[in-house]
């Protein structure tokens, strides 16, 4: 479901109107005015505006977009590329899908502004394979732009500006959302992340200088150019400006997407989703998709921005809020999470390949009532061995939620050991 337009939102304001996904419908609501303004500016001035807006990447790492745009080599004989990350592989995250389906021209306009700002000649939009409607809507929107001469050589009425956009459908692996795994997959290879450096701005897709940004990141850009940096900074916090589409799922009455400024209290977002289902008590919340440390119910007052969440030991990630009520067994949660990461590890790094396997083995043993003395200590030590030493951040992402569970819900783990069963009732086989 989509939240009704409110003064605290702009991205999704017209998403309920189907026509907004078409070029004429988008233009009728002021679309492509940001691009028009951008094409009248020097590329460096656009990069500066996006940098001073403070827009941070919405793909999970929160890197400042304008700074990343500045990494692209200015003088380069090689063709420069943009890759728009629409893989949205993070469990609990479903915002990019809605943006691509309901506002494809927002994404395309943001890409074209980025293309002029960075001198990029081609964009690949990597769309999650299951998102058929997203890919169809983007392809239709791209064709509309081609038909109007807004793509191709000397496009959008600007001589010397050439750009084309290609939609690439992914094939379903979580790791293809990691930017260099994505680049490998785009090139037709196995989706295995690359060692960095070199970073994509030096050696990206097909060895060419490439900037990778998330779908939502691009969707904010037209608003910054059209309405201005100060207007954009009027939403959110000093270090995390703008809004985002928070996805609220799990044990709530009305799961859905809610566009609110960054920094909105977690409890307010859960209330927007109708509160915890059946009037039950809240037990824990994953605030940023599956990969981020799970918080206890006492953290409902935390602001949903990176700074506030990291002060409580978690992260914003993709803003996918997963709610768990009092009936939830947190050992079972650890089982499900570690199963997912064990299955999705690409296997290149020992710490990740073996660590995810052990996290799953131990949490499953404890959940099944077969836990042994010392299991909890090993489970507590494992995440530390998996952090910050692998090719990509997947290993950290697998370790963090287990760390959060042990920090805040150790009682759940401890009660399984003497009882030799799950105190929450029937378990399940994985
Ligand atoms: C395991 C893993 C999975 C990721 N999945 C996604 C994804 O599905 N979509 C996405 O935009 N970024 C994903 N990222 C982050 C990307 O690597 C990259 O930081 C992002 O696309 C850059 O865009 P942004 O700066 O606009 O956020 C993932 C990262 C990791 C480590
Ligand atoms: S951390 Fe895991 S997913 Fe990332 S490259 Fe290493 S093995 Fe692959």
Give the tens place of pLDDT for each residue, 186-199. 999 999 999 999 99
Distance between Cα 385 and ligand 2 center (Å): 14
Q: Say if strands 81-86 and 210-214 run parallel, antiparallel, or are unpaired.
A: parallel
Q: Residue 160 corresponds to which tokens in the numbers above?
A: 């010397």
Name the CATH architecture for the domain at 243-325: Roll (3.10)
Q: Is the shortest distance between the CB of 344 and ligand 1 below 6 Å?
A: no
Q: Distance between CA atoms of 319 and 162, rounded to whole angstroms?
A: 35
Q: What is the pLDDT of residue 429?
A: 57
Q: Is the shortest distance between the CB of 178 and ligand 1 below 6 Å?
A: yes
Q: What is the pLDDT of residue 40?
A: 96
Same CATH topology for 243-325 and 330-419?
Answer: no
Q: Cβ(249)–Cβ(92) under 8 Å?
A: yes
Distance between Cα 109 and ligand 1 center (Å): 20
Mean pLDDT, residues 8-33 taken together: 96
Mean pLDDT, residues 273-283 taken together: 97
Mean pLDDT of the chain: 95
Does the pLDDT value for residue 430 go beyond 80? no
Name the CATH architecture for the domain at 18-233: 3-Layer(aba) Sandwich (3.40)
The model's confidence at residue 263, banded by pLDDT at 50, 70 and 90, is: very high
Instruction: Classify 167 as helix, strand or coil.
Output: strand
Q: Is the shortest distance between the CB of 63 and ligand 1 below 6 Å?
A: yes
Distance between Cα 398 and ligand 2 center (Å): 10
Q: What is the pLDDT of residue 156?
A: 83
Does the pLDDT value for residue 298 go beyond 90? yes
Entry field: residues in the chain: 430
Distance between Cα 123 and ligand 2 center (Å): 26
Q: The domain 330-419 is classified under which CATH number: 1.20.1440.230, 3.90.226.10, 1.50.10.10, 3.20.20.70?
A: 1.20.1440.230
- Count CB-CB contacts under 10 A for residue 406: 19
Q: Is the shortest distance between the CB of 125 and ligand 1 below 6 Å?
A: no
The model's confidence at residue 428, banded by pLDDT at 50, 70 and 90, is: low
Does the pLDDT value for residue 171 go beyond 90? no
Q: What is the pLDDT of residue 84?
A: 98
Domain residue extents for the chain: 18-233, 243-325, 330-419
- Count CB-CB contacts under 10 A for residue 229: 18
Please report, rounded to a whole number, the percentage of residues in the chain having pLDDT higher than 90. Answer: 92
The model's confidence at residue 8, banded by pLDDT at 50, 70 and 90, is: confident
Of all ligands present, the nearest one to the C-alpha of 213 is: 1
Q: Distance between CA atoms of 322 and 43, rounded to whole angstroms?
A: 40
* Torsion (CA) 152, 149, 182, 201 in degrees, nearest 10: 60
- The predicted-structure confidence for 368-389, as pLDDT tens digits, reads as follows 999 998 999 999 999 999 998 9
Q: What is the pLDDT of residue 4?
A: 43
Q: What is the pLDDT of residue 317?
A: 96
Distance between Cα 252 and ligand 1 center (Å): 27
- Among 346, 355, 388, CA closest to 175: 346
Q: Distance between CA atoms of 258 and 371, rounded to whole angstroms?
A: 41
Q: Distance between CA atoms of 181 and 172, rounded to whole angstroms?
A: 12
Which residue has the least CA distance to atom 6 on ligand 2?
Answer: 349
Angle at 253 between CA 250 and CA 259, to 5 degrees: 75
């Amino acid at each position: 479901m989509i939240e009704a337009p409110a003064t605290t939102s702009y991205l999704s304001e017209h998403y309920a109107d189907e026509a907004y996904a078409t070029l004429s419908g988008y233009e009728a609501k002021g679309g492509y005015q940001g691009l028009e303004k951008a094409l009248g500016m020097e590329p460096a001035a656009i990069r500066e505006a996006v940098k001073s807006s403070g827009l941070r990447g919405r793909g999970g790492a929160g890197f400042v977009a304008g700074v990343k745009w500045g990494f692209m080599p200015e003088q380069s004989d090689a063709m420069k590329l943009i890759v728009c990350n629409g893989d949205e592989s993070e469990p609990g995250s479903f915002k990019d899908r809605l943006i691509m389906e309901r506002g494809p021209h927002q994404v395309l306009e943001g890409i074209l502004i980025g293309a002029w700002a960075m001198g990029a000649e081609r964009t690949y939009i990597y769309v999650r394979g299951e998102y058929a409607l997203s890919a169809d809507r983007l392809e239709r929107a791209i064709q509309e732009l081609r038909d109007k001469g807004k793509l191709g050589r000397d496009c959008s009425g600007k001589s010397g500006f050439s750009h084309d956009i290609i939609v690439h459908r992914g094939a379903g692996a979580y790791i293809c959302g990691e930017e260099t795994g994505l680049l490998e997959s785009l090139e037709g290879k196995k989706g295995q992340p690359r060692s960095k450096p070199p970073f994509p701005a030096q050696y990206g897709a097909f060895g060419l200088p490439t900037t990778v940004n998330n779908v939502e990141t691009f969707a904010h850009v037209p608003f910054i150019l059209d309405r201005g940096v100060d207007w954009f900074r009027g939403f959110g916090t000093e270090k995390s400006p703008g809004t985002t589409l928070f996805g609220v799922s799990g044990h709530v009455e009305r799961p859905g997407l809610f566009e609110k400024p960054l920094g909105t209290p977690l409890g307010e977002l859960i209330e927007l989703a109708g509160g915890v289902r059946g009037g039950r008590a809240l037990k824990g919340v994953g605030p940023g998709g599956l990969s981020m440390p799970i918080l206890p119910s006492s953290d409902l007052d935390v602001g949903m921005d990176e700074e506030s969440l990291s002060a409580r030991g978690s992260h914003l990630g993709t803003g996918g809020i997963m709610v768990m009520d009092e009936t939830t067994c947190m050992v079972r949660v650890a089982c499900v999470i570690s199963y997912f990461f064990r299955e999705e590890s690409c296997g290149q790094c020992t710490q990740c390949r073996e660590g995810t396997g052990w996290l799953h083995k131990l949490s499953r043993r404890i959940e099944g009532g077969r836990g042994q003395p010392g299991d909890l200590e090993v489970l507590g030590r494992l995440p530390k061995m998996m952090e910050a030493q692998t090719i990509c951040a997947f290993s950290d992402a697998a370790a963090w939620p287990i760390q959060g569970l042990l920090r805040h819900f150790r009682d759940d783990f401890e009660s399984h050991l003497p009882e030799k069963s799950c105190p929450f009732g029937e378990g399940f086989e994985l």
